[in-house]
Structure 1
Amino acid sequence: MAIPSSCLPAREGGKRHTALTLGPCRVRRGPFSVRASGNGGRRNGVSARTGYNARIRYMRGETDGILYTNEQGNGSAPRARYPQREPGRAGAGQVHRRPSVNDRGRRSPVAAAGSGTPRRPGGAPAPGRAVAAPTVGRAADAAGARRGGPGPVAGARGRAHGSSRADREEAILRMRRASRMYTLRIVAVVAFAVLLIAGYGWGTAKYRGSFYPATSAYGVGFGSVDVQQVHPLAQEALSVYSLHVSGEGLDLTIPGSDISLAFASDDIGRDVLDAQGTLLWPVSALLPHDASEFFGVVYDREALLGILREAVASGNEAVQQAADPDIAFDEARGQWVYEPAEASAVIDADALAAACEGAISSYQPELVVPAECVAQSGPPADAEKKRQAAQRANELCAAYDVSFTLGDSASFRVGAAQAAQWITFGEDYEASIDQGKVDEWLDTLRGLLSGASTRTYVRPDGKVCTVEGGDYLWRAQDADGAVEAVRAALEGDASDTSIPCSVVGNGFLGIPGADWGPRYVDVDMTEQHARFYDDGGDLVWESDIITGVWGTQYETPTGVYTVTEKLSPAQLRSVGTLEYIDENGNLQVEEDHLFGRDVDYWMPFIGTFIGLHDAWWQTEFGGELYKDGYFGSGGCVNLPTEKAAELYGMLEPGDVVVTHY
């Protein structure tokens, strides 16, 4: 673009610049704004020989016509800059011009003053710095033509023209890319909207027929369960439901079938589905939903109340009995006692029914009786009568303190403990001696003094045992006379009575009970366990055992016996029938077979052929080995060797051995 010199403002001294040729670019320089245009017409009276129109708009003041290179200093994209004010030196409206070059290439006085453009060695201007614009015009173009090439102005026009075409093509490409991107954005937005609408429609249709994923009732999730299956599954779970009530002495299980438990709704799944809604399903599908309210139940309240009242009445009775015990004889203290509780807790059946209804409605399997269902009752109404009855019973027992001597070796005493067995209480808790019980006791004594072989006794560990048989016994010279003498002594006619006996034992524990002393061996063949009690009745030895084969001729006899002797070592020999299976699988029977073992500790109690001894050939003891023909003994009591050695050191001939089941 060429700007005639006539259009340029006058410079200092009244002279004008020559024509200025610019490329197709917009240039701001000092007071001018130059913009290249490619429309080829005229504007503002300026004509461009290259076919471009230039429009010059007067901005302000004068211009010095200086061009500046780009940042790289190659001059390919020239641009003009506004002159800068120098702080503190320029007045208002004044412009400080940069150094310029006149038409003849000489520097202006300002440039000569030292403000020229720095140059590289060799004369080239430094990159990024301003350079003086050469004199432009036709003369410059002609000079270039004489040198065989385009002048500086024509060269600038050529470069500007090529640059403008490339810029236009690049701009067109950018516009096309922008158009494509815009189209793609529109398509993406439309596609997203379509997918969003389709997804919303899909979710709406889905949750009209299925539950939200986080749907649950009473902590049990069923979001993935088919709607039609919810009610049958819930009904199946309800059919096995039961409520267990415990606490305050109550232990009760109430099956749902006993109270006709059923759901209030006929289709729980449809009720839940109708209530969940689908309008806000994108949000609702992410939230938990509690559908417990739709699982309401109905039941027979009268049936529930009847069950509770019956159970509560029984439980309250047990509690009251514990708080109001019967009059009992305390063997440790040797007297009758009555110790009621000051207060007792009873359950209110109606209040408990209300608590059970809440538990059933929420399907709770366990219910502990709440504190609000319990009331405190005072001491029993007849507590004072029972105290007086216990005192009267102790007075009656104190009257019985009689000692009896059997032969010359043993004695027994009838005191408060024995008399307590004869005490009875009437309807008004009146204590008295039951003569029928006294007569029964005397009949038992008559049998023992006559050599009876059946005894029922209480072992020191509390087990009640009955034994029959044996050769140990007491025999009075006159059993009937002895019994009458005992009766007279009990009625107060005598304090001591002697009973002559023809056969005596080693002690007499009491009636009913053992007619032997506290020192004895107890062989319990049901437990397959033996115990030895010393003179004080204390347990000092015990062991597992194996007795004779049960249900055969080798079964160990029951009864009360005494140890006949002790031998260590001993050879055990006996003759009997041997049955065995030969190598061909046939049963063989051998009569008069000689059986025998050599043992280290032998303690017979039935003659000299059945007793307690070590069985070193046995690998284990106890249990039910005695029922096996291979392990069971021939009638003796087999002991582990070390246990047999211990018992051998404690047992003496004459000690009682009791064998029983």
Structure 2
Amino acid sequence: MSGRQIKQPDGFSPKDKDINEDYYLDDIDEAGKEAYLDDEVKEEDPDYFLDDDEDKRPDFSELTEEGTARNIFEEEDPQTRNRKVKRKIKSRNKRKKGKDSGEIKTGGLKRIWIFSGSAAAALLLAYVGVSLFFTSHFSPNTKINGRDFSGRTTADVEAFLKGKVKDYELTVLEKDNKSDSIKGSDISLVYKESDAVEKELKKQNGFLWPAALFSENASEVNIEVSYNQSALESKIQDLQAVASEQTASESARPEFNGEKYVIKPEVIGTAVDMDVLNKKVSQYIAEFKPKLDMEKEKCYVLPKYTSESEEVQKACDMMNNYIKASITYTMTEPAVVDKVLISTWISADDNMNVTFNENAVRAWLTDFGDKYDTVGITRTITTPTGKTAEVSGGTYGWSIDEDTEFTALTDSIKSGETVSKEPAYYQTAAEHSATDWGNTYAEVDLTAQHMWYIVDGAVSMESDVITGVPIPEKETPQGVYDILEIQRDKTLIGETDPATGEPEYKTPVTFWMRITWTGVGFHNADWQPAFGGTLYQNPDIGSHGCVNMPYDTAEALFNSITVGTPVIMHY
């Protein structure tokens, strides 16, 4: 092109040419017009250069392609010509810009689609290729028998397993930090070919290999081996745990700690469970595991019950219910049956059955009775004259009814009862003291041949007496007794004489006060010449064991004494 260069206004951008009319207001010289017409007029609608008035439109029908167009413009005045050229340039630039933009847009999209398709095809081919690879190789994150075989073949796995068989050695960890080993060569260990590894490979889907990137596939292939069974059994018998002396395990069990029953933990002994040990050794060899911990694999004989066993906890709870009871016997020295004592009477057997030892309870009650029963024990008495004498024997005093009390005591224990009470008695006495006859009683001094009736600690009446002849058959028994019956006008009948078949005597008395059921008692003896002294030693005067009294003192005693009043007779 030739012609004058069009000057752009200040701040004008080339992209503004189509819309900024001032750009075209400068005069267009001849050279510029000719250059423009040479290139463009042929392409445009001739009407575009004409005014709207149809009468002024030139006739293009006979115009030449280039020269006539020039003549048209030449015939125009410069101002009109410049305006038309401006409009033409503006219209052409808009059309050209639209055309260029469309070409660029269409070409760019086409190139993007071509590139995307090529990339997708390449990725698909790569995925298929990798998938085919994993049809004959193990997927990522694949572990077999603890070893990573990702991307490896079955041949690689079998080669590894064969190598393990060749150098295999099992270490057996025992109690007390002892250990032994069993080498593969000791038992002629040999690898046996199988399809186990091939089967493991077939389990995987090669086309799902991307999923394997995010998860671990661990498996244990049970490899077949052969070995000398007799040699293995011999090696097991040589293990220190088997060959040494063994101790049995102890089950967990309830144990009393002074306050309550708690679970004493089990104790694992050293006795070996040979069935478990043989099974575990064979399993470890088959899996080529290097170490067998006998404790962890429970190769020792385990106790029947552990600290976690429900049976042990139930037994513990039941025994704690027993020891809730507390029974206090209100004696001169209180006797308490509490948790400490009860704990000695209950136990749990090997099956955690709680047993209440009733025989132990009865034995305790026997001891309890021996301690607090006073019948027949030796007591000390001081006579009204100041004489101190010991007296033992008799039928009077405290006597615990052990059978009745056994039932009451066991019921209280089993119900967890807390109570204070006196035990059940066969018979009672006036008070719990060394002189349990109290302060109202009759006393007979067999040596002094004298008796007193003490009421509330004071002598109410007294009398000389004659007691039994001091020979075994007639002697008045010493001891503490009580009045068993009181009867007026009683006939006393002696034992039958074998020679005659008749009673030794039949003696009527006015006042009878029985002391023993064998026939000893207070009574009047009107036939006696006198009382007291040593008359009782005379076989013709001494009684058959009764306490003979003068009529008046016998009557006085008869009128004041009551059934149950203690009677103490001593030398």
What TM-score does the superposition give when structure 1 sets the normalisation length?
0.29
Task: Report which structure shows greater RCO (CA 8 Å, sep ≥6).
Answer: 2
